[in-house]
Amino acid sequence: MYVFEIKAFNKAWKDICNANAGGETVTLETPRGKTFLLNPLVFQGPCKAKAIRILLGGTLIAPLSTSWANEGVDTWIQFSNVDNLYLDGDGKIDGRGSIWWQSCMKKSVYALHFNNCNGLQLKGLTHLNSPRAHISIKNCKDVIVSDLKISAPDESPNTDGIDISDSTNVQILQSIIATGDDCVAINAGSSFINITGVVCGPGHGISIGSLGDGGAYDTVEQVHVKNCTLRATQNGVRIKTFQGRSGYARKISFEKIVLSNARNPIIINQFYQDKGKFSKGIMKAGAIEISDVTYSDIRGTSANDQAIDLRCDNVVGCRNIVMRNIDITPGVDCPKTYTVCNNAHGTATETQPRVPCLS
């Protein structure tokens, strides 16, 4: 049985947001065993309360309709300008996205969006079947995301697990993400991002970018991915940028990564093109600079013979690419593995397959 409680949620939020608890954390709890059907909802700050905890024990589900997107809404549940927000529990957030996927809508709709929420902590919840990306983190700093389960079918379009943009000091920890697109996507304006202990698959792997969409000056730096497992993913660890753009992606590391029959395990692509957008051709000049990227202790199997793909721009190229202790062997229906390089510079030691372009 569904509980229709939009007004109740709004009233409860108003009460806790305006609470003056003398520095104590104010808590809003949804009970176990109940399912709440919610139309698009915005929890708006800033709040008087110094810290707010939302303990989700039940299930939040989205309307089984795409009609509300026609009103210009691009998020289902949004928190904006709320500092020191803790959202945790063992409940579920179900975006019921199948109707969106079937409608082939171009609109990007996030199930759960955080904008300008500093000191955010998100823990323990299960996120299901978002219309598009499950969780979006934008303009936030000092964020900890941990112990999540995110799930959507492999064929569901654009159902990223976690999207990060214009944010700094974000940690994604000990989570299981199985989606139809990137498990984690690190987008422009992001820095000091740490991803540790994530199990990804199915999905498109862990991606930086795409950067430079629309001609923007985009930057990403200090991204560190460690102790992650990628199972039957379309890509492994990837950096993707559009041509003819400016900016940089630098000081990036992928360490202790385990691959299980992942296609395209290691990719740098400075020739990226969005398949959903018309392109008039490959531009020849200008690129987002990619430098100081380290791959170390990466092992497992590839579902594609082209296991390492370093396609760097013909003019700018990629600098200080370091590979060490790489062991990617053929997986199911893959007779061998090899490397493709274009204008990549750096060093490679103890790599399988060999990376001859890195001296």
Q: Which CATH number do you get for residue 264?
A: 2.160.20.10
List the domain range (segments joined by +) for residue 50: 5-66+74-275+284-352
C-alpha angle 47-53-46 in degrees, rounded to nearest 5? 15
Instruction: Give the catalytic positions in this structure.
Output: 204
pTM of the model: 0.94
* pLDDT at res. 72: 75
Question: Around Cβ 186, how many Cβ atoms within 10 Å?
Answer: 28
Per-residue pLDDT tens for 182-213?
A: 999 999 999 999 999 999 999 999 999 999 88
Count up the domains in the chain and report the number: 1
Per-residue pLDDT tens for 285-342?
A: 568 999 999 999 999 999 999 999 999 998 889 999 999 999 999 987 778 899 999 9
- Domain assignment present for 358: no
- Domain assignment present for 359: no
Cβ-count burial of 106 within 10 angstroms (0-12 exposed, 13-18 middle, 19+ buried)?
exposed
Copy the structure tokens of residue 271: 């020739």
> Which element (helix H / strand E) includes 8?
helix 6-17
- Domain assignment present for 326: yes
- Domain assignment present for 357: no
- Domain assignment present for 173: yes
Q: Cis (ω within 30 of 0) for the bond into 353?
A: yes
CA distance 197 to 149: 13
- Domain assignment present for 48: yes
- Domain assignment present for 225: yes
CA distance 196 to 47: 31
Question: Coil, strand, or helix at residue 49?
Answer: coil
- Domain assignment present for 122: yes
